[in-house]
A and B are shown apart, each in its own frame.
Chain A
Amino acid sequence: MRKTLSIIFVCLISWPALSQAILTIEITQGEATGLPIAVVEFGWNSKGKVPHQVPQNIGQIIESDLRRSGKFNPVAQKDFVSQPHTNSDVVFKDWRIARAEALLIGNVTEVSGKRYQVEFRLYDVFKQTQLAGFRYTVSADMLRLVAHQISDLVYEKLTGEPGAFTAQIAYVTKETRRQQGRNRVVYKLQVADSDGYGPRTVVTSKEPLLSPSWSVDARQVAYVSFERKRPIVYIQNLASGKRQKLSGFKGINSAPAFSPDGKNIALTLSKDGNPEIYVMNLATRRLQRLTRNRAIDTEPAWSPDGQRLVFTSDRAGKPQIYMMDSDGGNVERMTFEGGYNARASFSPDGKRLTLVTRENGKYHIGVLYLNDRSLHMVTDTQLDESPSFSPNGAIIIYATEVRGRGVLASVSSDGRTRQLYRFETGDVREPAWSPINQQLRYQ
């Protein structure tokens, strides 16, 4: 049973021209424990020459998504006996020989002008049955999003959990250019697809930008900007580009975190003497102070139900993770291992935290299981920071340093699969997953 879907529009308005492109995604660690799936590059039927900006590697985009999740082990192309694009081309025996348990095929047809029809079919190789099949008709600029949407469907069909490949990432880049004998530094807050492609610049500044935080509907981003030579929190609508100053008190204004109900935002402010955590009502701008002591309290993050917050405090001498109720009550220390635990945030199911933890002088990404308080390292590199869970909890994106440059990396939340996102230039840092997937709308 096939459905014909026609996409009318996507809730993202097209943004200014792409500015920075990712070159490659490099797998730095992988275990062959995932489900073996064969993804055949989609067939391509076009009338004339396809413009170079139209992605003709739909299969490759999907395969790379699935591999990054750590739950799939895509079969190598060299083991393919045939290259089917349609249902009648499929010979299941070929795929049993290739040791694939699932098979994904598809094709793209140019229908008119700049519109393309994308079809795919997912099969269970052993049962010799079709598990899913859809057809989309989209404009050229939506082809990547369709590929990610197919990844989400394949992921959900085969793991039983929703995919998050259509989610986005926000991050900050820093580029230094030599101009008229002087180094000119440019910071950009950018938003890109979950695989790093299609970056769009949200803000450009000569002064540092940090701590991007998504609103629950993924329509707004809050961030810290030093453009006025001190840290001020702004909130910006992604589609319109309109922004407003949210908090510009004396001292530090930083670490914004939207509450899950979208009504409040947690902040770190030092206006009353030293960094404390506050919650601001976004409608009334009224502030409620949650912490009250002489130590550093910062990096608030909400539990998915909005009832509690985790934060970093050095009230016991060294930075550790604490949890409190959303009114500041019932403060409880969560981490005891190691002399440095910071920047915790919840998994979407509320059962785990990801955080930065120090071991032997190196800063790694850890996962703390809340049921037994066990802390597991998921990275072993040196300057890892800014971890956040994908909206389905399967992948953690974080920032690290490779050969002197800041880069983004991802690790499956079990620590098994790791990848680096390689940008052409500059330092990349402060990644944050959008809390929800980009939606394709159908008629």
Chain B
Amino acid sequence: MKKAIWMIPLTILALGLSSCGGDEAVKPAVDDQSGAQTTPADTGSSAGADLLSERRVYFEYDSSAIDGEYAAIVEAHAKHLSSNTSLNVTLEGHADERGTREYNLALGERRAKAVARMMKALGVSGSRINVVSYGEEKPLALEHNESAWRQNRRVEIIY
């Protein structure tokens, strides 16, 4: 956990450098995501396990579309949940701080439901999925800038 906290500023720096001139809809680059994760990268695990260590799905501004690299993460979790039927999953939807709190609460739910829909399509029973939205109330990054907003538009996969 300590390591992950250390890495967040590096991630912000990396994102800041990589997104010069970018607009609000720029999505996080794949390489930069690992910094925000809680599992060290040097466990030497397989590709599938690496995907399972990714517990966050990121979104573009005012969007609930799950882009390619995140679809792979959701898919890996869905597969894992399908073969571990004792596990229940909570999908926590979040938004960045821009715009109104109530609209963002709705947007967070829409994002979490998009992930839930995908998991269901991949065979996870809806009764095992709990969807909750926190809107913009629980940001990961507290700064008021593009890289913070990018980290905050997310769904957390918790089980």
Number of A-B contacts (CB under 8 A): 85
Which residue of B24, B102, B137, B144 contacts A299 across the interface (Cβ within 8 Å)? Answer: B102
Name which residue of chain B comes closest to A251, CB basis: B109
Nearest Cβ on chain A to B88's Cβ, whole angstroms = 14
Q: Does A296 contact B (CB under 8 A)?
A: yes
Q: Does A366 contact B (CB under 8 A)?
A: no
Q: Does B143 contact A (CB under 8 A)?
A: yes
Name which residue of chain A comes closest to B143, CB basis: A404
Nearest Cβ on chain A to B76's Cβ, whole angstroms = 26
B41-90 contacts to A, CB under 8 A, are 62
A364 to B138: give the CA distance in the assembly, Å.
23
Q: List the B side residues contacting A385 at CB < 8 Å.
A: 99-101
- Identify the stretch in A82-90, A93-101, A109-117, A355-363 within 8 Å (CB) of chain B at 4 or more residues: A355-363
Q: Does B12 contact A (CB under 8 A)?
A: no
User: Given that A208-B137, A383-B144 are known contacts, is A229 also in contact with B99, CB under 8 Å in the complex?
Assistant: no
A210 to B131: give the CA distance in the assembly, Å.
19
Which residue of B23, B100, B109, B138 contacts A252 across the interface (Cβ within 8 Å)? Answer: B109
Q: Does A318 contact B (CB under 8 A)?
A: yes
A343 to B23: give the CA distance in the assembly, Å.
24
- A255 contacts B138, C-beta separation under 8 Å: no
Q: Does A166 contact B (CB under 8 A)?
A: no
Name which residue of chain A comes closest to B97, CB basis: A383
User: Given that A401-B144, A404-B143, A404-B144 are known contacts, is A363 also in contact with B102, CB under 8 Å in the complex?
Assistant: no
B113-159 contacts to A, CB under 8 A, are 113, 131-135, 137-138, 142-144
Q: Does B6 contact A (CB under 8 A)?
A: no
Q: Does A230 contact B (CB under 8 A)?
A: yes
Nearest Cβ on chain B to A20's Cβ, whole angstroms = 20
Give the number of residues in B that approach A within 8 Å (Cβ atoms). Answer: 26
Nearest Cβ on chain A to B153's Cβ, whole angstroms = 15
Q: List the B side residues contacting A230 at CB < 8 Å.
A: 132
- A343 contacts B100, C-beta separation under 8 Å: yes
Which residue of B107, B134, B137, B138 contacts A296 across the interface (Cβ within 8 Å)? Answer: B107
A406 to B18: give the CA distance in the assembly, Å.
29
Q: List the A side residues contacting B138 at CB < 8 Å.
A: 208
A334-380 contacts to B, CB under 8 A, are 340, 342-343, 356, 358, 361, 363
Q: Does B105 contact A (CB under 8 A)?
A: yes
Which residue of B97, B132, B137, B142 contacts A210 across the interface (Cβ within 8 Å)? Answer: B137
Q: List the A side residues contacting B142 at CB < 8 Å.
A: 404
Name which residue of chain B comes closest to A385, CB basis: B100
- B103 contacts A211, C-beta separation under 8 Å: no
Nearest Cβ on chain A to B100's Cβ, whole angstroms = 4
- A430 contacts B101, C-beta separation under 8 Å: yes
User: Given that A226-B134, A404-B143 are known contacts, is A358 also in contact with B99, CB under 8 Å in the complex?
Assistant: yes
User: Given that A230-B132, A318-B62, A319-B99 are known contacts, is A270 also in contact with B137, CB under 8 Å in the complex?
Assistant: no
A255-297 contacts to B, CB under 8 A, are 255, 268, 270, 274-275, 296
A168-225 contacts to B, CB under 8 A, are 208, 210-211
User: Given that A208-B138, A318-B62 are known contacts, is A298 also in contact with B132, CB under 8 Å in the complex?
Assistant: no
A49-78 contacts to B, CB under 8 A, are none
Q: Does A415 contact B (CB under 8 A)?
A: no
Q: Does A43 contact B (CB under 8 A)?
A: no
Q: List the A side residues contacting B106 at CB < 8 Å.
A: 252, 268, 270, 274-275, 296, 298
20 residue pairs A–B, Cβ–Cβ below 8 Å: A211-B101, A231-B133, A252-B105, A252-B106, A254-B105, A296-B110, A298-B103, A298-B105, A298-B106, A299-B100, A299-B102, A318-B62, A319-B62, A340-B99, A342-B102, A361-B24, A383-B97, A383-B144, A385-B99, A404-B144
Where the two chains meet, the residues of A that have a C-beta atom closer than 8 Å to any C-beta of B are: 208, 210-211, 226, 229-231, 251-252, 254-255, 268, 270, 274-275, 296, 298-299, 312, 314, 318-319, 340, 342-343, 356, 358, 361, 363, 382-383, 385-386, 401, 404, 429-430
10 closest cross-chain pairs (CB), A and B: A208-B137, A296-B106, A343-B100, A275-B106, A342-B100, A255-B102, A299-B102, A298-B102, A342-B103, A230-B132
Given contacts A254-B105, A342-B100, A385-B99, 10 further A-B contacts (CB under 8 A): A226-B134, A230-B132, A268-B102, A274-B110, A298-B106, A299-B103, A342-B102, A342-B103, A404-B143, A430-B101
